[in-house]
Amino acid sequence: MSAASLNQPLAALPDLAAPPDGPLHIGLIMDGNRRWAKARGLPRALGHKAGVEAVRRAIQAAADAGIGWLTLFAFSSENWRRSADEVRDLTGLLRIYLRREVNTLARNGVRLRVIGERDRFGPETVAAIEAAEQATAHNTKLNLTVALSYGARAEIAAAARAVAQDVAAGRLDPASIDEETVSRRLATHGMPDPDLIIRTSGEQRLSNFLLWQAAYAEFVFLDVLWPDFDATHLGQALVEYRRRVRRFGVGSG
């Protein structure tokens, strides 16, 4: 994954305030489409299609809850290893979603941004992504980030290469390198770190999602397959998040 494809410039985004009891930024690992379809004797493609409906519900639920930032893990860099048929189904759904949903996103005040190696999806999909980003660029109700062909390790490696190039070119003093130096070169530069990471399907791992950014995030793992996710499940995660005490490494009791 190249530094150029990950570290695209981030235009100024609205500085939305978190609800009084948080969170400001939620990351969602959407897992379970294939198991949902298998349990119903349906083709995988219908599981992914049902997952798109859950995306709509999640975006609306986040907006209704006053969440300012929502990042969806839609397609990992590892997903390219799946069968050619499944990858084709997923990328086709992506194009359809972008074409059909952009007006709804724009009308509802949602600003869309895509992070990850978008060029791997081909020119037609890249054009649809860029059109959707431009059409929603001035919205301020919800900042929606979709991670496509994204992997956190590759993102960090790209940031490290960018730092090394700046040092080699004499633009950066190695003694001045700190966490912010790296953060500025990540795909999420300009975004707040996630306060809460939610994963569906009962699995309890990050799967290479926002590894740097999630250093102090709270985690909630829900035993629900992604196509069944709705506002009730988001509410359950928010209740769990708000009962926790976040210390950020300061104190233990």
85 labelled catalytic: no
DSSP conformational letter for 44: H
Other beta carbons within 10 angstroms of residue 204's beta carbon come to 8
Is 139 among the annotated ligand-binding positions?
Answer: no
Is 233 among the annotated ligand-binding positions?
Answer: no
Is 176 among the annotated ligand-binding positions?
Answer: no
Task: Say which residue the tokens 């300061």 belong to.
Answer: 250
Q: How far apart are the first and last CA of the chain?
A: 42
Q: Which of 7, 15, 21, 31 is catalytic?
A: 31
208 labelled catalytic: no
Is 32 among the annotated ligand-binding positions?
Answer: yes
E-assigned strands of 189-232?
196-199, 218-221
Residue 127 CA, distance from chain mean position: 20
Structure tokens at 178: 């700190």
Q: Which of 79, 119, 166, 230 is catalytic?
A: 79
Is 83 among the annotated ligand-binding positions?
Answer: no
Is 69 among the annotated ligand-binding positions?
Answer: no
Other beta carbons within 10 angstroms of residue 166's beta carbon come to 16
Is 34 among the annotated ligand-binding positions?
Answer: yes
Is 246 among the annotated ligand-binding positions?
Answer: no
Residues in binding site for Mg(2+): 31, 218
Residues in binding site for substrate: 32-36, 44, 48, 76-78, 80, 82, 199, 205-207
Residues in binding site: 31-36, 44, 48, 76-78, 80, 82, 199, 205-207, 218
The set of catalytic residues is 31, 79
